[in-house]
Amino acid sequence: MIEANNDLSPICENKKKIKLLFYNRFWNYEYPKDLALVYPEVDFFFHEDCIHEVEVVVFHIPSLNLLPDELRSLKKRREQIWVYWSLECEVHYLDFQKPEIRNLFDFTATYKCDADIPLPYISGCKDIDWRRKPAKKTGFVNAFFSSKWDKSGRYNYLKEIMSRLNIDSFGEISNNQSRQNDPYLNNGLDFNSLRFKEEVISRYKFTLSFENAIATDYVTEKFFQPLIYGSIPIYLGAPNVDAFAPGDKCFINVNSFSSVNELAEYLILLDNRDDLYNEYFKWKTLPFRASFESKINLSKYMLVQLITLVKKKANL
């Protein structure tokens, strides 16, 4: 999402305005109407027909209604800057990863830490109370899965582990809970549904945190929400997830176990041994890892970073 930036100092030094087009929407969200006030050095455009009038074009790849090869037909102007923007895992959009397509873009704004504009899911979360005391537990394992996307094999694993353990599933996938008055299912990702998810997760000892794809740096809210809400994530996803962990022994990696049965037995052991279970929360009282600190302090403001890059490239 594009968020308001309260610190205008990085983008108010030059009076020349940058013409910037959001070629398509960020999914179904409307862009804030006050962007021109928040970023006074930019003239914003929101209709694709304006593509030849602007200096910068931002393409939100996941919701782009163009095939990769159709991008070429747009006839990029000389000196025009194109931005590849996506917070979703690129394995879902392999045709856009071909060199001849990626070379059309000047900058990338993605979850990857080595992107021109790095936007990992954890960026900008330093004001969250990561050290909040876990609530009293009344449940064993919970799950929230609704998207049909599955490039990680997560739903096969979900089916297997649900056959061995009592898991309360609240999402659209494998739901075994009451669907009545469930804001998470009925209202999408609004405030009430996210609040409901927080309240549910906080009551459970463990949370299944399975990503929809496996790729370096693709560590999403599925990993971070349980850590914040006081549940232990059971994680399936990025091979370098440890670099995103706030401390030692704060999550359980599915890949550390040779089988679903071995993982299930370990969770039952922790469920019966409070001393072993509580070891997974010691990190909350210790200094955060340096790798975690570096990521949590990254700017969440995509436009601030982009404008800085554009001014540097254009010598503005």
Q: Measured between alpha carbons, how far is 26 from 51 in angstroms, rounded to an integer? A: 17
Region class of 203: left (phi > 0), else alpha (psi between -120 and 50), else beta: alpha
CATH class, domain 9-119+298-313, is alpha beta
pLDDT attached to residue 268:
98
Q: Measured between alpha carbons, how far is 252 from 281 in angstroms, rounded to an integer? A: 12
- The CA distances from residue 258 to 155, 197, 234, 249, in Å, are 18, 30, 15, 19
Mapped to the 3 state alphabet, what secondary structure does 166-187 carry?
A: CEEECCCCCCCCCCCCCHHHHC
> 212-241, pLDDT tens digit by residue?
999 999 999 999 999 999 999 999 999 999
Q: Measured between alpha carbons, how far is 109 from 204 in angstroms, rounded to an integer? A: 35
Contact of 206 with 139, CB cutoff 8 Å: no
Q: Which amino acid is at 285?
A: T
Contact of 141 with 167, CB cutoff 8 Å: yes
> 132-148, pLDDT tens digit by residue?
999 999 999 999 999 99
Please, what is the end-to-end C-alpha distance for the chain in angstroms?
A: 26
pLDDT attached to residue 12:
43
Distant-in-sequence, close-in-space partners of 312: CB < 8 Å, separation ≥ 6: none
Q: Measured between alpha carbons, how far is 129 from 114 in angstroms, rounded to an integer? A: 27
Q: Where are the domains of the chain?
A: 9-119+298-313, 139-296
Task: Write down the architecture of domain 139-296 according to CATH.
Answer: 3-Layer(aba) Sandwich (3.40)
pLDDT attached to residue 282:
98
Query: Closest Cα partner for 122 from 242, 288, 300, 284?
Result: 300
CA 147, 153, 155, 157 torsion-angle sign: negative
Answer whether 9-119+298-313 and 139-296 agree in fold.
yes
pLDDT attached to residue 179:
75
pLDDT attached to residue 103:
95
Q: Measured between alpha carbons, how far is 252 from 75 in angstroms, rounded to an integer? A: 49
> 145-185, pLDDT tens digit by residue?
999 999 999 999 999 999 999 999 998 999 999 777 677 77
pLDDT attached to residue 57:
98
Angle between helices 260-272 and 154-162 (to 10 degrees): 50
Residues of the chain with pLDDT under 70: 1-15, 181, 186-189, 316
pLDDT attached to residue 4:
53
pLDDT attached to residue 9:
43
pLDDT attached to residue 247:
98
